[in-house]
Structure 1
Amino acid sequence: MASDPKVHTFEEVSKHNKTKDCWLIISGKVYDVTPFMDDHPGGDEVLLSATGKDATNDFEDVGHSDSARDMMEKYYIGEIDSNTVPEKRTYIPPQQAAYNPDKTPEFVIKILQFLVPLLILGLAFAVRHYTKKE
């Protein structure tokens, strides 16, 4: 009679993040993939990059074969306590300044607001000076 699978906390699993000690969380299950590190077709870096998080999406995005999924069974060591897995953070983009369609920096706009009237005034004086009838 098989015993109940061991339940691991996220913190515990996250500590196993080295080439010689690597655990992954995939679909709520915990796998000790340490013996597979040298044999993984994508290299050990791929497995290491999936530690410390729920690697389900990483695993599914690759499109592993049925034989790869069957192979996982021998690395299975238990379940993850889902209450200990941090919630995924929602990306909040930084607040943007008012829309500036031509992407001109704000200080340039302020300088132009000051200089353009002066240039117009100078042009008006020049035109008046050179078109004056004597």
Structure 2
Amino acid sequence: MGEGKVFTLAEVSEHNNSKDCWIVIGGKVYDVTKFLEDHPGGDEVLLSAIGKDATDDFEDVGHSSSARAMMDEYLVGDIDSSTIPTKRAYTPPKQPHYNQDKTSEFIIKLLQFLVPLAILGLAFGIRFYTKST
């Protein structure tokens, strides 16, 4: 149908409702409007992919060879890949550096204070208990 026609992502994204639904998969543009009702995963799956590159979503599901063969009847053209934003790798947010030595130092100082205090409290408790009996 649309062989040879090249669309930009902006052009694809203009087809963004249930009456006119285009998606991009594997560098190809598909008009899936007539397939919305028949899609085994429900129309909301396709509607969530409107106007964007849904290649990753499509591949993650693991579509069958017969499903891939059906795609040809919905093909309207190719996507101009220069109009698709490049994917960036995830960069975790910066977090303060965890210094094991400072934490260990703090715990040791805390124990140096609490252990003698506990021994002193135990000694007074034993003395008090033996005097009262």
TM-score w.r.t. length of structure 1: 0.68
Match of 2:61 in 1: 62
In structure 1, distance between residues paired with 2:3 and 2:17: 27
The 1:99–1:39 alpha-carbon spacing in structure 2 relative to 1, beyond 3 Å, is: farther
Match of 2:20 in 1: 21
- Is 2:32 the partner of 1:36? no
In structure 2, distance between residues paired with 1:4 and 1:67: 21
Is there any run of 5+ residues in structure 1 with no aligned partner, and where?
Answer: 101-114, 127-134
Kindly tell me the number of residue pairs found equivalent between the two proteins: 122
- TM-fit CA distance, 1:4: 5.1
Match of 1:48 in 2: 47
* 4+ aligned runs moved over 4 Å, structure 1: 115-120
Work out whether residues 2 and 75 of structure 2, in 8 Å CA contact, stay in contact via their aligned partners in 1. Answer: no
Which stretch shows the higher mean deviation, 60-69 or 37-46? 60-69
Match of 1:109 in 2: none
The 1:18–1:4 alpha-carbon spacing in structure 2 relative to 1, beyond 3 Å, is: closer
In structure 1, distance between residues paired with 2:112 and 2:8: 68
> Which of the two has greater helix per residue?
2
Match of 1:89 in 2: 88
Partner of 2:23, secondary structure, is strand
The 1:90–1:31 alpha-carbon spacing in structure 2 relative to 1, beyond 3 Å, is: same
Cα displacement string for residues 59-88 of structure 1 (whole angstroms, at most 9, x for unaligned residues): 112111121111111100000001111111
User: Pairwise mapping of residues 91-110 of structure 1 onto structure 2 (< 5 A)?
Assistant: 91-97=90-96, 98=98
- TM-fit CA distance, 1:89: 2.2
In structure 1, distance between residues paired with 2:36 and 2:3: 27
Is there any run of 5+ residues in structure 2 with no aligned partner, and where?
Answer: 101-109, 122-133
- TM-fit CA distance, 1:117: 9.9
- TM-fit CA distance, 1:43: 0.6
Q: What letter corresponds to residue 70 of structure 1 in structure 2? A: A
